[in-house]
Amino acid sequence: MFHCFIDVCDKAYGFSMKVFILVWCKNPANAENSLLTFRTLRTGFPTAEVVVFDNCSIIGDAVRQHCRKVGAQYIHLNREIRHHDYLHSILLKEKQAILVDPDIIFWENLEHWDFSAFLMAGRLIPNFYDKYTRCHTVSRLHTSLLWLPDLEKMREIFAKRAPRYFDPVMHQTALVGSEWVFWDTLAGLYHMFKDRAYGFGEQELNAYDHLFCGTHLDQVINAIGSDSIIAQGAHLARTDIQSLKGYWRQQDQYFAASPSRFLDRLFNQGIT
């Protein structure tokens, strides 16, 4: 089974479909992007229950105020937790969930989306070579906006199919032959349930946009370059938010320009 849970989150869990947001901000320069989603949260989810965890951020007061404005439940974590531990807790205890990152902007109402035929739904990130990690990065459904419609069924299947000691959530790095391979957060879960996963199409992708690394750009900027497509998104968010509409297409160009032939060959050979 999934290995870890966070007791501090118990009071937030229930049985209805709801949105979960984790806010983590340690640098004032990232504050605006770390609060971005509150600007249009009720455009994307006008009536949904929203639970916001403040992960010991330096902007706790601002997060609390934004939660009050949008009618979201605010929970302050007294100790900082890791992203994968936060996800573990949701996977273990929820019946259903929608994960939302704080650096997302919504253009349309998403509440009518129905992914009940699947166990996962989100934006499919292809195999690519990541300059920041210096690794070939395995494809996954990105955690920035992720539907988990039936976690009880997922847990049931996981218990029957998962190999011993397999952690489907935590990011992991491995040397495969002579190449470094990175399984980012939830990549293992996606590949385990690939036959029950839905990758967003153009219609879904046009309904929102996400700033990759928006909440921690200071940590990756030297590796990816200040003129990269990823870095440009954070600048647009500060200057003209409407210019971000459809930004996912430019991000796709970034992935296409950094392919991982190594992983593509492995996957084509049936090695996952």
Q: Is residue 173 part of a domain?
A: yes
Domain count for the chain, please give it: 1
2 within domain boundaries: no
Domain with 194, as residue range(s), is 7-268
Q: Does the residue 1 lie in any domain?
A: no
| CB contact burial 56-65 (16+ within 10 A = b; e otherwise) | bbebbebbee
* pLDDT single digits (tens) 36-80: 999 999 999 999 999 999 999 999 999 999 999 999 999 999 999
| In-domain check, residue 35 | yes
Give the CATH number for residue 102. 3.90.550
Could you tell me which residue, 250 or 49, shows the higher pLDDT? 49
Tell me, yes or no, whether 113 lies in a domain. Answer: yes
Q: How far apart are CA 43 and CA 111, in angstroms?
A: 10
Kindly state whether residue 176 falls inside one of the protein's structural domains: yes
pLDDT tens-digit readout, 149-163 = 999 999 999 999 999
Q: Is the pLDDT of residue 265 over 80?
A: yes
CB neighbour class for 178 (10 Å; exposed up to 12, middle 13-18, buried from 19): exposed
Highest mean pLDDT, choosing among 19-33, 184-198, 205-219? 184-198
Contact 263, 246 (CB under 8 A): no
